[in-house]
Structure 1
């Protein structure tokens, strides 16, 4: 009778260990943070002005009794200095999302989101443990970024390629004036020949 109870106890212990494994791994740092998108909100009247964008960050796989904080930084590609940072300190549960507007000049940018335990970051920011991090490269404007260098792909509405000369037909009123002048000139030449 004793020999049968020992394997039963071991089987039960093994079954409990297997069932508890997902709970233990959820507590072991599986938190995630994601930069879902950076999207254009509004195009400026002139391409040299600031562009209105918005980004969204999301957290998941959070532990129940932990207070979290996320730090979101962005910079222009090639710069050593971060341009701005936001501290998202009201994270409450899995799936929470943080939306924030950005006003930026055209160019190539980089955004970084890092998730921390709030108490850890507040007590020693330089040595705080990053629980999860996400990065995203994005472009502001109508151009593209290759190797961190911004270039315009298409002509922005209302601007012309800087080839030096201008097309008189593209200037308001001059196309019509040139057409009337040409018609009058042709009529004058035709009447002189008669």
Structure 2
């Protein structure tokens, strides 16, 4: 079997601007309501996306819902994406594999973003008023010391783009599942 091509990765700009939190600023654990709504919408949309990942795995394995749940029910999303990748590499012709691996690369990036959204401490940086997600898990920029809190700054439009990207990925997975198993 041919080795699969490298997958494109999202740029940092697609995931939000990452920088050490300025210790001279004040962080308030409050975000505007429109941010709360978009963060919630991202979590809601991720649930549909994760279900589409499961259904794509089930289709590749020719499993019904009851048996599919046995395979994917206890896996976290990262393992489901990894399983989907391995199954596609094993079962798809190279011509189809290219597009699917690009989609899977996007799923991996969205998973990383979803984790940041779900596990970060969200708030507003003062005096700038920038909405920020603080993370102790996010990798620090190379030019920073290891003892900094990383801040991911998001504009409301970026959150909307991320939700839209999740919706597009869900639709692409549904189309993929129908192609693999048109039941």
Report the TM-score when normalising by structure 1: 0.20
Larger proportion of strand:
1
Report the TM-score when normalising by structure 2: 0.21
Which entry has the higher C-alpha Rg, 1 or 2? 1
Larger proportion of helix:
2
User: Which has the higher relative contact order, 1 or 2, with Cα contacts under 8 A spaced 6 or more apart?
Assistant: 2
